[in-house]
Structure 1
Amino acid sequence: MTDVFYPALFEQKVRRLADGYQKRFGELFEYDIKAELARFNEYRETLKKYVVDGVSFMRSAQESDAKIVIEGANFVTSSSTTLAGIIGGLTLNPRNITETVGVVKAYTTRVGAGAFKTEDTEEIGTKLQEIGREWGTSTGRRRRCGWLDLVVVKYSNSINYYTSLNLTKLDVLDTFETIKIAIAYKIDGEELDSYPADLNILNPAEVVCHEMPGWQKPTTNARTYDDLPKEARDYVEYIEKFVGVKIKYIGTGPDRDAMIQRP
């Protein structure tokens, strides 16, 4: 990032990169270097106030007891979004971490290709897409949807050691008569210990599901845990018992106040 603030050096590096791509792709490579450099001449002053020495900035914030909120989103970055990645990437003192919240939808979604053992490409998946409005706001691209996969959630917890969970979009399940939850994978009838790292094991694995009755009542107006239907509370409590982490927050709608906080 610092190269941007040294115009001559930045231009030299951009031209070197462009020349390399031009030699590789020939006429297929269309790139206006002058226009790109002109854009950065405009951006430079705007960017300057946002660029800091990360180590110094984070040390100062921690020494002043500032509250620091960090959010990681998997499959959209090449960096590590785990707790360990946050500590190393931001030079965060692990002793200063007071809470690690795992945010998980009440069902599972994914964008793009990749493993998704509970994906439903028929009625259930379509219904989750429609009720949950699971499509990109700018592209309109539909997200892949399926039942909640607790094998994945438990695996994520074994990496990040959550202090609590935030279960979002519980209201999307309000109209389902029955609800399934993935609780294990099997290969040749034998249950796997955890989420496999080997795709040759993951791809043919059979999903074991636990089925629960739906509540078929609206939860969008619920503001306390006791406001939820019994079946919804059973769903929440099954998840936290399986994962071994308390669900402290429950989202019941798109509004900011549609969030139940349990003591």
Structure 2
Amino acid sequence: MATRVVVGAQWGDEGKGKIVDLLSSDADYVVRYQGGANAGHTLEFDDKKIVLHLIPSGIFNGDATCVIGNGVVIDPHALLEEIEEVEAMGGDLKGQLKISGSAHVILPYHQLLDRVKEEHRGDDAIGTTGRGIGPAYVSKVSRVGIRMSDLFHPKALRKKVRDNIADINEALQHVYKHDPIEADPIIENLLEAAEQLCPYITNTSALLHDAIKNGKEILLEGAQGSLLDVDHGTYPFVTSSCPTSGGACTGSAIPPTAIDKVMGISKAYCTRVGNGPFPSELTGKAGEKLREAGQEFGATTGRPRRCGWIDLVALKYAVRLNGMNELALTKLDILDDFEEIKLCTSYRVDGEETEVFPLDLPDVENLEPVYTSMPGWNQSLEGCNSREDFPAKAEEYLQFIERYLDVDLTILSKGPKRSETIVL
């Protein structure tokens, strides 16, 4: 039996979907443990391509039961659209998809609040996707959230939604100068969705505890990345949940003692979507080259991603924070045509050099990255089917990363398809 957590080691978009899809062939359960439809995990297989936002990325490879855990916030209509899309591609969700009754529901008023709050912030906007993720988590911790289990109780559900909208309308009218919203259409749409979703809803905590007891293989899938963690990321430019390995426990109801492996996923370079500090960002031609070669546009929003060299200081912070004992490096092929490749190996803050990732926002915003330069390998990795096949310069690059982080690379990805992956 093994329970493995797959964690984004950067600012998200590292290729977690592909790696989870790959690993799921040996899993009995694949569990998405946090975030919402603001995350997009892209899968490519058998000349097909799909972007999953809520359904775990193990749905197409093997027979694993796919669980949407209690730490996820769910837009019912987005989920129903995704179910329809998965089934159209041959996915069989009947009996294979399970949804935690403790997962919270995103409603239209969360999405509206998300948008008006961002507009209200002006130049200080966080850069959210506008999908209602943050406001849904606010409802959760304010103890006024609607949970998936509430869909079984229409009478009580109506009252809860009406009470919430009464409070929200006060804020909309008097703080944001926005027209009030009506409760009835929201309630009726939710009850309509409930008819289709209720068969999937269950006590996933009991389900997973039995799986652990019976020695099953469990794969926990995070969304976003460690540096977007609400507690440990570049606050306030973070997501509203805990993408780290600690969040895997609270978001799935699996105890820490059951986790055997933590695999971090990192690109061979670095990207970030939205606002916030990005020490190794490239704003010139090199950044544009990375963006175009890597097709760095958000899977959920289509926004162009900011691009830069790999940041080993931030990556080592993520390794320690999550207790990573495995690392998958994706998009190695994007560096095929670079004469010179740089790696950020320290920061200069107020004239002092450090290898410690700072957690105070002004320090992160004002630091200067210090780079180590290496010659590029200047050839395609397409025909490389093992690490021994890699060009010498590529192997030197990989060895440098392993030594700096003190973590073994266990998966190397040189393209978006399952077949373009080397498992070490």
Find the aligned partners of 1:210 and 1:31 in 2 and give their Cα distance: 55
Find the aligned partners of 2:302 and 2:359 in 1 and give their Cα distance: 31
Contact persistence 2:151–2:198 (CA under 8 A): no
Which residue does 1:53 correspond to in 2?
Answer: 203
- CA RMSD after TM alignment: 1.7
Question: Which structure has the higher relative contact order (CA within 8 Å, separation 6+)?
Answer: 2
Contact persistence 2:329–2:412 (CA under 8 A): yes
Higher alpha-carbon deviation: 39-48 or 232-241: 39-48
Find the aligned partners of 2:327 and 2:412 in 1 and give their Cα distance: 9
Residues 139 and 203 of structure 1: CA distance in aligned 2, closer, same or farther (over 3 Å):
closer
- Aligned to 2:377, the other structure's residue is in SS state coil
The reply to whether residue 42 of structure 1 matches residue 184 of structure 2 is no
- Aligned to 1:49, the other structure's residue is in SS state helix
Which residue does 1:214 correspond to in 2?
Answer: 376
The reply to whether residue 122 of structure 1 matches residue 284 of structure 2 is yes
Q: Aligned runs of 1:9-20 on 2, under 5 Å?
A: 9-20=156-167
Higher alpha-carbon deviation: 59-68 or 146-155: 59-68
Find the aligned partners of 2:348 and 2:322 in 1 and give their Cα distance: 25
Contact persistence 1:180–1:210 (CA under 8 A): yes
- Which of the numbers 392, 401, 412 marks the counterpart of 1:230? 392
The reply to whether residue 161 of structure 1 matches residue 323 of structure 2 is yes
Q: Aligned runs of 1:1-263 on 2, under 5 Å?
A: 1=147, 2-26=149-173, 28-72=178-222, 73-74=224-225, 75=228, 77-137=239-299, 139-262=301-424
Runs of 4+ residues over 3 Å off in structure 1: none
Residues 115 and 231 of structure 1: CA distance in aligned 2, closer, same or farther (over 3 Å):
same
Letter paired with 1:199: L
Report the Cα offset of residue 138 of structure 1.
5.2
Report the Cα offset of residue 92 of structure 1.
1.9
- Aligned to 2:261, the other structure's residue is in SS state coil
Identity percentage of aligned residues: 35
- Aligned to 1:203, the other structure's residue is in SS state helix
**Structure 2 runs not aligned, ≥5 long:** 1-146, 229-237
Larger Rg: 1
- Aligned to 1:69, the other structure's residue is in SS state strand
Residues 21 and 207 of structure 1: CA distance in aligned 2, closer, same or farther (over 3 Å):
same
Find the aligned partners of 2:187 and 2:274 in 1 and give their Cα distance: 33
Residues 192 and 58 of structure 1: CA distance in aligned 2, closer, same or farther (over 3 Å):
same
Higher alpha-carbon deviation: 143-152 or 36-45: 36-45
TM-score (norm 2): 0.59
TM-score (norm 1): 0.93
Contact persistence 1:221–1:258 (CA under 8 A): no
- Aligned to 1:257, the other structure's residue is in SS state helix
